[in-house]
C-alpha cells in the first residue's frame, strides 16, 4: 500500500485544569490517504476537535500540551519541526475550516481584504490581483454577486454565507488536506446540506484529502469514506463508513446510530444514549463507556479494551470493546 499522506500515531494531548490533568486525546492513531475523506465523530468532549487542533499546531498553550505521539505528513513529523517550518505548511498543505466563522473572521476588515490577504502574504500578489482572486473564490464557493459582496464586512453575511467565506479562505492556497471542524453546526438543515455538498465538490475538484469533524453521523454519511468514533479521548471504532454504519461492533456507535432520525423509515421514537459524556477528571476504570453501556460486565471494569479487528470483518474495521461479538450479533439479528 502506498504511504499515507498523513499518519497520526499514538497522539496524546493533555490539559492542565483546576481539577487536575486530563487526557483529552489518548493514543489516537489513524492514516489518511490522498483524496480520502475521514470523518472523526463523537459527542462533546470526545477529543475530536482537540485532535484537529493538534494537527494544525493549535493546541492552546500553556494549559494544553502534546504529551506523545507523531504526526507524519508526507513522512515528516510535524511535531518535530520548528514552528517556522510548520507555519509554512499551514494553508498550502494543511488548512482548516473552523466551527464558528463569526469569531474566526476579523469583524473590522472587509471579507475580500481578509481573503486577498492570503494571496498577498503567501504569494506576493498585488492588491488588485489579490482582490480579483478573492472575487473568483467567493464566486466558486457560491456567494452571489461576489464582485459587490467582496467589499462587505463579516456581519453583513448570513451564517451560511460566512461559512462559505471560511471555506474560500481555507481552500485559497489549494491545501492537500482540509480539516473541517463541525463546519455546519451553527447552520439550519438546508444550509448544512449545501455546505456539505460544496465541500464534497471542492474536494473532488482539487483532489484534496479531508478530515471532517462532527458529532452528527447523519451529516457525514454522504461524504466520508471512512469513520472513526471517539469517546473520552480514545478511538472506540473505526472502519469504512458503510461497514461501520451497517455492521457496527461497538455499543457507543450503536447508541449514536439509534439517535439519528431516518427520513424514509417508520416514525419511531429516537433513543438517545443514556447518561452524559464522561468527566475526564474522573474516568471509570477499564472502559470509559462502561457507565452508559448495556453490555458492560466485570471484565469491562477490570481491563481497558484494545482497538482490535472484528471477527469476519475487513481488517480495517476495528472496535475497542470486550463484547463486540455480541454487539455485532445484535445488529445483524435486529
The answer to whether 112 contacts ligand SF4 (rule: CB under 6 A) is no
The answer to whether 293 contacts ligand SF4 (rule: CB under 6 A) is yes
Place of cell 482497538: 307
**Cis upstream peptide for 287 (omega within 30°):** no
The answer to whether 231 contacts ligand SF4 (rule: CB under 6 A) is no
CA end-to-end distance (rounded Å), the chain: 36
Q: Which of 220, 305, 318, 328 binds ligand SF4 (CB under 6 A)?
A: 305
The answer to whether 289 contacts ligand SF4 (rule: CB under 6 A) is yes
The answer to whether 322 contacts ligand SF4 (rule: CB under 6 A) is yes
**Cis upstream peptide for 62 (omega within 30°):** yes
The answer to whether 300 contacts ligand SF4 (rule: CB under 6 A) is yes
The answer to whether 172 contacts ligand SF4 (rule: CB under 6 A) is no
CB of 304 to ligand SF4, least distance (A): 9
CB of 60 to ligand SF4, least distance (A): 30
CA 280 to chain centre: 20
Phi, psi of 36 (to 5 degrees): -90, 155
Q: Are 236 and 319 in contact (CB under 8 A)?
A: yes
The answer to whether 323 contacts ligand SF4 (rule: CB under 6 A) is yes
d(CA 162, CA 154) in angstroms, rounded, equals 7
CB of 234 to ligand SF4, least distance (A): 10
Q: Which of 296, 307, 310, 328 binds ligand SF4 (CB under 6 A)?
A: 296
d(CA 232, CA 120) in angstroms, rounded, equals 41
The residue among 220, 227, 269 whose CA lies nearest residue 252 is: 227
61: left (phi over 0), alpha (psi -120 to 50) or beta: beta
The answer to whether 5 contacts ligand SF4 (rule: CB under 6 A) is no
d(CA 273, CA 258) in angstroms, rounded, equals 8
The answer to whether 69 contacts ligand SF4 (rule: CB under 6 A) is no
CB of 290 to ligand SF4, least distance (A): 4
The answer to whether 290 contacts ligand SF4 (rule: CB under 6 A) is yes
CA 329 to chain centre: 29
**Contact flags string 237-276 toward ligand SF4, x per CB under 6 A:** --------------x-------------------------
By CB under 6 A, name the binding residues for ligand SF4: 251, 287, 289-290, 293, 295-296, 300, 305, 321-323
Amino acid at each position: 500500500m502506498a504511504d499515507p499522506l498523513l499518519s497520526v500515531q499514538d497522539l496524546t494531548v493533555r490539559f492542565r485544569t483546576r481539577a487536575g490533568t486530563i487526557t483529552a486525546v489518548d493514543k489516537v492513531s489513524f492514516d489518511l490517504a490522498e483524496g480520502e475523506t475521514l470523518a472523526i465523530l463523537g459527542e462533546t468532549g470526545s477529543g475530536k476537535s482537540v485532535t484537529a487542533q493538534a494537527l494544525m499546531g493549535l493546541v492552546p498553550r500553556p494549559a494544553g500540551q502534546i504529551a506523545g505521539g507523531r504526526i507524519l505528513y508526507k513522512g515528516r513529523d510535524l511535531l518535530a519541526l520548528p514552528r517556522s517550518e510548520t507555519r509554512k505548511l499551514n494553508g498550502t498543505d494543511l488548512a482548516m475550516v473552523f466551527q464558528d466563522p463569526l469569531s474566526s473572521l476579523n469583524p473590522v476588515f472587509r471579507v475580500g481584504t481578509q481573503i486577498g490577504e492570503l494571496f498577498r502574504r503567501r504569494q506576493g500578489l498585488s492588491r488588485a490581483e489579490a482582490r480579483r482572486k478573492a472575487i473568483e473564490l467567493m464566486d466558486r464557493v457560491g456567494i452571489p454577486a461576489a464582485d459587490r459582496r467582496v467589499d462587505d464586512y463579516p456581519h453583513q453575511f448570513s451564517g451560511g454565507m460566512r461559512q462559505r467565506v471560511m471555506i474560500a479562505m481555507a481552500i485559497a492556497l489549494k491545501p492537500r488536506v482540509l480539516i473541517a471542524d463541525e463546519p455546519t453546526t451553527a447552520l439550519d438543515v438546508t444550509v448544512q446540506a449545501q455546505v456539505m455538498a460544496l465541500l464534497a465538490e471542492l474536494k473532488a475538484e482539487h483532489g484534496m484529502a479531508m478530515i471532517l469533524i462532527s458529532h452528527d453521523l447523519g451529516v457525514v454519511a454522504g461524504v466520508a469514506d471512512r469513520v472513526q468514533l471517539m469517546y473520552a479521548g480514545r478511538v472506540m471504532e473505526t472502519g469504512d463508513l458503510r461497514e461501520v454504519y451497517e455492521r457496527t461492533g461497538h455499543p457507543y456507535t450503536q447508541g449514536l446510530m439509534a439517535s439519528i432520525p431516518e427520513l424514509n423509515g417508520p416514525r419511531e421514537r429516537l433513543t438517545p444514549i443514556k447518561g452524559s459524556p464522561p468527566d475526564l477528571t474522573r474516568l471509570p476504570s477499564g472502559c470509559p463507556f462502561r457507565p452508559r453501556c448495556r453490555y458492560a460486565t466485570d471484565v469491562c471494569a477490570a481491563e481497558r479494551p484494545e482497538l482490535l479487528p472484528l471477527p469476519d470483518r475487513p481488517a480495517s474495521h476495528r472496535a475497542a470493546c470486550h463484547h463486540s461479538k455480541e454487539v455485532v450479533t445484535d445488529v445483524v439479528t435486529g
